[in-house]
Amino acid sequence: MSAALRYEWVRTITVRSTWVLVALGILLPAALTLFVAWATSDFVASGQSAGPGGPGSENFAPFGLSGATVLLLGSLLVTIGAVAFGQEYRHGLIRVTLSVLPHRNAVFAAKTLMVIVVTVATAIIAIAAIALGNYIGLAIGGTSDPTTLSAGLQAQLRALLVVVFFVLVAMALTALSRNQPLGILIPIVGAAVVEPIITLIAQFQEWTWIDWVLPFNGAIASVNTTGAEAWGHLGVSAIWLAAVLIPAWVLFNRRDA
Amino acid sequence: MAIDVQGIGKSFGSTRAVDDLSFHVPDGVVTGFLGPNGAGKSTAMRLMLGLDRGEGATLYNGKTLKAYPHASQVVGTHLDARPFLPGRSARDHLRMLATDAKLPGSRIDEVLDIVGLAEVAKKRPKGFSLGMAQRLGLAGAILADPDALMLDEPANGLDPQSIQWLRQFLKHYASQGKAVLVSSHLLSEMQLMADHIVVIAAGKLVADGTVDELTSLRGDVLVRCDDADRLAGLLGEVPVRREGIDGVAINGLTTDAVGRIAFDNGIAVYELTKRTASLEDTFFELTGEGQQFAFKSVDSAEGGAS
């Protein structure tokens, strides 16, 4: 296992795309948050809502976190998960990898662990950068974030888990399909296009249960909600993750390299 | 390090790609792995490494590859022409492979120097020629100084000087008591490089032996003498055929035996030559029915066009 971890570490850090994605993942959501915080600082100062889930509303996640910024962060980092298997299959490197490391369980575990480590490290910095962007944006607008520290930390932890969920789903889908673009596109298109449309239809049909079924919107909802409901959404996402990760692991062991 | 292949097999749908294949790759010599296109060579190599799922087992000095703590020190492989990420530098690619056996950076530099890629070590290999890509693949295979090498068509894309270098390198590598299995379509090259040959066709073993054993099976003895008809008659059931006015080609007898028969019967011999078939002739004879994707013969192709 330690050899597989060393292999994965070098594989991860010796690809330029890893560093580009990490940089984008940190900078873009922070920049977006800074802009939104500055633009909406009046609402925050007055205690008014800029709309459901928006700045100043009851459900608005603290320290600048919002469903949109977490979705952006998750969408940027899904590639880190997808390339863990995608690059190997695309370039036939998987045969080299499994010749050097013939224990497939160790390879799968090492890839999963390294993806989690890189994602968590990036997401922690990115979430801190988002909080900083929020602080600066509000300060420029002449106000400050009313969030209490404990509420903020819980939301940040959930945001971190949501990003890990996105990235691991991308990794599992790529391992299942052996198709990197598919592994990247499904979480992004699912979260940003397909599920919002389903949610819209569900609102007309009054399908209130739909929020508890959809994998990506449920995960995003855990950032915009609080307490047991927020953690419940994350639990649903965890079941979805298991539904793709376990078959990916089983097939990785059974299939030809 | 000897390799024992024991009854490996695999099907793709209804096609039996490799069928109950067993052979031995001895240490100390280069073993050529031959077969026509679609014979199952690459599939067999992947099965031997556990990369493809199938039947049978492959033992490396009596143990499976998974039983060793560092597989890269047991068998070095080069199975694909471009087995690397185009955006990762050649040196970083080897750094990654070096992690299994915790090899130092100096070993990476040494191997890059051996294969002649030291000058482009920090370059990304997306612009590498096929020959350079093959060298990088070979560098990865020998990096951990493994006890066995398994190379699939390593000479593809190499220029004649590089092929000569590869031949000498692999012979030297094997001479250190290591097993080297090389597949190739370059039969003349394989005749120079390999001491031991394994031939498969349609997934099955058709020949296994030294180059001399295989080529002598298809060889004959040519004798030119003053009474070829009488000599042919004296040989009884031994397969013979006439060649020219005074020549007889004889299968299944040694030059000594033919010379003795001629001498005992007062036949003057002008020439007595042992002729061995080339590996190419032997290969065609062995695998004639086993080529999966055969060209049309020139005659029939021309007939169809007219």
Give tens-digit pLDDT for B85-111: 999 999 999 999 999 999 999 999 999
User: Does the beta carbon of A254 lie under 8 angstroms from any beta carbon of chain B?
Assistant: yes
Quote the pLDDT of residue A48.
61
Spatial separation of the C-alpha atoms in residues A33 and A210, rounded to whole Å: 29
Which pLDDT score is estimated for B305? 46
Subunit contact B46:A10, Cβ cutoff 8 A: no
State yes or no: pLDDT of B296 exceeds 70. no
Angle between helix axes A104-140 and A149-177 (nearest 10 degrees) is 140
Across B255-277, average pLDDT: 91
Contact across the interface for B88 and A14, Cβ inside 8 Å: yes
Shortest alpha-carbon distance between residue A6 and chain B (Å): 6
Mutate one of B47, B51, B126 to test the A interface: name it (highest A CB count within 10 A).
Answer: B51
- pLDDT for residue B68: 95
φ, ψ (nearest 5 deg) of residue B222: -100, 130
Share of chain B above pLDDT 70, in %: 93
Q: Assign B306 a pLDDT band (cuts: 50, 70, 90).
A: very low
The answer to ipTM > 0.85 is no
Indicate if the pLDDT at residue B170 is higher than 90. Answer: yes
Q: Do B92 and A14 touch (CB under 8 A)?
A: yes
CB atoms A91 and B86 under 8 Å? yes
Report H helices in chain A: 2-13, 16-39, 41-46, 67-90, 93-100, 104-140, 149-177, 180-189, 195-205, 215-224, 227-254
Question: How many CB atoms within 10 Å of residue A98?
Answer: 21
* Ranges of chain A whose pLDDT falls below 70: 44-62, 146-151
User: What's phi and psi for B147, nearest 5 deg?
Assistant: -80, -10
Q: Do A96 and B97 touch (CB under 8 A)?
A: yes
* Residue B1 distance to chain A (closest CA, Å): 17
CB pairs A-B closer than 8 Å = 83
The mean pLDDT of chain B is: 89
Convert the pLDDT of each residue in B29-82 to its tens digit: 999 999 888 889 999 999 999 999 999 999 999 999 999 999 999 999 999 988
Q: By CA distance, what is A255's nearest residue in B?
A: B53
Percent of chain B at pLDDT > 90 equals 64
B264 pLDDT more than 70 = yes
What is the least distance, in Å, from the CA of A222 to any CA of chain B?
37
Report the range of poorest mean pLDDT among A94-98, A144-148, B175-179, B182-186. A144-148
More confident residue, B254 or B179: B179
Place of tokens 């984008």: A24
Please report the pLDDT score of residue A67 as a whole number.
80
